[in-house]
Amino acid sequence: MKNIAVIGAGTMGNGIAHVFAQSGYEVALIDVSEKALEKALATIGKNLDRLVKKEKISEADKSATLGRITSFSDLKSGVKNADLVVEAATENEKIKLEIFKQIDEFCNENAILATNTSSISITKIGAVTSRPEKVIGMHFMNPVPIMKLVEIIKGYKTSDEVTSLIMETSKSLKKVPVEVNDVPGFIANRILMPMINEAIITLNRGVADVEGIDTIMKLGMAHPMGPLQLADFIGLDVCLSIMEVLYDGLGEAKYAPCPLLVNMVAAGDLGRKSGAGFYSWTHGTKELIVADRFKK
């Protein structure tokens, strides 16, 4: 595989485009928003600048990487030459299914269609295409250029040949792929999201405050980031969406989203991307400042 199409120029999409291009692949980065594409290319440039400053790559490597990325606002044009498409649109089942119907129509018959979904069924996504054996999950971790793990999720009809090829492709990106079965939440979020949800429940019931919960998990459990800070980093809307997938798919009360999480999302407090969640993100420093509503 040589030509990669990445759908979605947000945080995950630009990171995926970055690692493929830096590994020598030709990348078509696709988004309906020209502004999002401009922002993505600027972000990739800044991330490459940091690598140059740390002497991990040269200026020539940076220029070559950027030269391998072409932006498209038209889906059909962007995917027409792709050997592999990696969809990294918002974590919304309806949107993803519609995208896969379109790329199945627009791509050549040999193209592999991958999704960066963190929770939605690969089997369900594959079922809306004419090539379910070529549909697979490639769940990258955020931030993509730094995090080594890629969850490789095999749908009910995904072929062994496609799975093997995507495992090897992930290794070519200097990532560590782990094959996972197609169950709600897969592995990463099947374990992580209930922990985050339980931290929110603990806060909601007054067991401890925001700083207390995060400090205990950082210093007591050696987590680099507390669960509430991590929830803000991921996006509370994404956390809620994944918890709903777990609850709907597994039908167990322990996966029910905390009412506080539901209310925060409804109110528009989505974490870092909205400027407020469990912490305030509008002050422009790396210092963690607890959001006003959670201060004592």
How does pLDDT run across 5-59, given as a tens digit for each residue? 999 999 999 999 999 999 999 999 999 999 999 999 999 999 999 999 999 999 9
Cβ partners under 8 Å of residue 275, min gap 6: 281, 282
State the catalytic residues: 118, 139, 151, 189
3-7/149-154 β-pairing: unpaired
Query: End-to-end distance of the chain based on CA atoms, in angstroms?
Result: 55
**pLDDT tens, the chain, 296 aa long:** 899 999 999 999 999 999 999 999 999 999 999 999 999 999 999 999 999 999 999 999 999 999 999 999 999 999 999 999 999 998 889 999 999 999 999 999 999 999 999 889 999 999 999 999 999 999 999 999 999 999 999 999 999 999 999 999 999 999 999 999 999 999 999 999 999 999 999 999 999 999 999 999 999 999 999 999 999 999 999 999 999 999 999 999 999 999 999 999 999 999 999 999 999 999 877 789 999 999 87
Look up residue 218 and give its DSSP letter.
Answer: I
For Cα atoms 99, 125, 8, give the angle at the middle one, nearest 5 degrees: 35
Q: Which residue has the tokens 């782990």?
A: 178
For Cα atoms 24, 37, 101, give the angle at the middle one, nearest 5 degrees: 85
Q: Which of 150, 148, 147, 149 is nearest to 136 (CA)?
A: 150
Residue 25's pLDDT is what? Answer: 98
- Phi then psi for 285, rounded to 5 degrees? -125, 170
Strand partners, 7: 30, 87
Residue 166's pLDDT is what? Answer: 98
Residue 91's pLDDT is what? Answer: 86
Q: Which of 283, 177, 281 is nearest to 231 (CA)?
A: 281
Residue 35's pLDDT is what? Answer: 96
Q: Is the pTM of this model over 0.85?
A: yes
Residue 287's pLDDT is what? Answer: 86
Domains, the chain: 3-181 (3.40.50.720), 188-294 (1.10.1040.10)
